[in-house]
Chain A
Amino acid sequence: MNEQNPVPPQIPPRIPPAATPSCAQQLGDDPAERAAITNVVAAIDSILRHPRRVMFQLRQPDAGKLIAMMLIVSVVCSLIYGVVVGTFSSGPQLWIAPAKIALGLMISALICLPSLYIFTCLSGSQARLVEVCGLLAGLLMLMTILLIGFAPVAWIFSQSTDSLAWMGTLHLIFWFIATIFGLRFLETGFSHSNARSHAGFHTWVVIFLLVAVQMTTALRPIIGTADTFLPKEKQFFVSHWGDCLKASADKSNPETRPNGR
């Protein structure tokens, strides 16, 4: 009875637990994520450093306040960045550019919100409409905060170049970088909502990017000047960009700035 079994029992080797990726953890597992976001500074800090805290708070019953706060920050930041954009042409563009940028951003988000919710549902996600709205507001806030970060660089270039095409390209690059980070936030939030597939989300990303760039053409001119607030003729953004680049290449004379600089 006391004999020992020479063959050890077949126990599968224990695999040391790998470092758990943050997206595999449930939102709210970390007590820090459960701390309420009560003010604008906390909202900005959280979206930059602890985005999971924002995602967790968006699932709480009083998420409306946070969403409103994020939208207000987005509007204020886009207005500030708009002023920087307007300094290229100065004059009336100092108020036209901020108005158009803030308006364009909000309209783009509003246009794309229903499709985002539909794609979210089709992907099997359990996210509620409020949460989707919150994630979209988070995208806008992160985007516009990053644009504020780029603002000093944009301002230096707007003061030292005459080329409309160059400034347009520069702002588009900054916008694109900011959007990548914003979309990354949105995708992380999306992945926490039990979505089976990301295909729908990726389709929506393409739609959102197309809407946003078309908005820059629909609300043109944002950087340059015009007689009317909105354009007289409708144009697709590809043909508008083509026209801008052609006009820029044709202008061998660099003295094209409206303020004569």
Chain B
Amino acid sequence: MHAQPEPLKPHPGEIATLLRGETETISAWSECWSSQRLALHIAVIVLGAGLYGAAMGWWRDPHQALYVAIKFPLIILLTTLGNALINGMLAPLLGLNIPFRQSFSAIVMSFTIAAAILGAFSPLIAFMVWNAPDLASKSLFGPAYNFILLTHVLVIALAGFTGNARLFQLLARLGGGKAVAFRVLCAWLAGNLFLGSQLSWILRPFIGSPSLPVEFLRQAAFHGNFFEAVFHSLRQIFNN
């Protein structure tokens, strides 16, 4: 009789394993589906991204903080769900023959890493916002606004880059090659950026404008899309 391997019980301490990128352990997690582990990762996403969102929205208004705390994790979860099917299909087609559940859990884990980093930065962002001049009384285009905006870009870029770097390591281990891992990662990244951009557009505002009321969604949330807006902005720039 073969001894059954001891099941890997999920616990909050395993987030450190994710952050360290211990691919051997992480690939074992991805191979055996655990609802408890998925729940833990979703909890980290909700908490980490939620705290960061709260810190982001707090500059405008406490209500805005609450709204962004809900919207930020929502974007991550909806992007993961919305692209789950196509990501699961693209992996084997691009040479990484992993089951749907494994591709889904790999993506969730990469977002968990990103959310954990965002959550860790949220006190710093909150401190920065606390020290910043009141958004409602100052000019939108002042140095404080630009500095805070730039900080958000850097922190989110760091979180995204780290999450994807860990995902790449995991895919390389699962697929046995960097070329395959890179192909799959690029395809997933393209899809997630594409859908994530639009979801962010729908769920705007995040920082909020002092000239506009605090609201969960803009009146024209479902009017137009992110890429059209970029296109029109570019056209205006070149026409001027």
Contact = CB atoms under 8 A, between A and B. Distances in A.
A145 B92 CA distance: 13
A161 B223 CA distance: 5
Nearest to B194: A153
A104 to B, nearest CB: 22
A91 interface: no
B190 to A, nearest CB: 10
Contacts of B201: 160
Interface in B79-97: 81-83, 85-90, 92-93, 97
Interface in B82-129: 82-83, 85-90, 92-93, 97
Nearest to B89: A149
B198 A157 contact: yes
A49 interface: yes
A160 B202 contact: yes
A152 B93 CA distance: 19
Interface stretch (B20-28, B139-147, B224-232): B224-232
Interface string B203-240: 00000000000000000011111011000000000000
B45 interface: no
A51 to B, nearest CB: 9
B195 interface: yes
B186 to A, nearest CB: 13
A200 B217 CA distance: 54
Contact of B224 (A49, A149, A153, A161): A161
Given A48-B89, A49-B97, A153-B195, A161 B83 contact: no
Contacts of A146: 86, 89
A148 B225 contact: no
Contacts of A72: none
The secondary-structure label for the interface of chain B is helix
Contacts of A160: 198, 201-202, 221-225
Q: Kindly name the residue among B97, B191, B225, B227 whose own CB sees the greatest number of chain A CB atoms within 10 A.
A: B225
A161 B225 contact: yes
Contacts of B221: 160
Residues of B in contact with A, size category: 20 to 34
Interface string A116-157: 000000000000000000000000000001101111110011
A145 B223 contact: no
Interface string A47-66: 01100000000000000000
B103 to A, nearest CB: 11
B199 interface: yes
B18 to A, nearest CB: 26
Contact of A152 (B83, B90, B222): B83
Given A150-B86, A162-B223, A156 B195 contact: yes
Contacts of B88: 149
Contacts of B195: 152-153, 156
Nearest to B235: A249
A215 B24 CA distance: 50
A48 B87 CA distance: 12
A159 interface: yes
Given A48-B92, A160-B202, A148 B223 contact: no
B202 A156 contact: yes
Nearest to A159: B222
A163 B228 contact: yes
A95 interface: no
A196 interface: no
A153 B83 contact: yes
A166 B85 contact: no
A176 interface: no
A152 B92 CA distance: 20
A231 interface: no
A48 B194 contact: no
A48 B93 contact: yes
A241 interface: no
Given A152-B83, A153-B82, A160-B201, A145 B89 contact: yes
B82 A166 contact: no
Contacts of A237: none
A28 to B, nearest CB: 19
A261 B222 contact: yes
Contacts of B81: 152
Contacts of A92: none
Nearest to A156: B198
B227 A166 contact: yes
A144 to B, nearest CB: 11
Interface of A: 48-49, 145-146, 148-153, 156-157, 159-163, 166, 181, 184, 254, 261
Interface of B: 81-83, 85-90, 92-93, 97, 191, 194-195, 198-199, 201-202, 221-225, 227-228
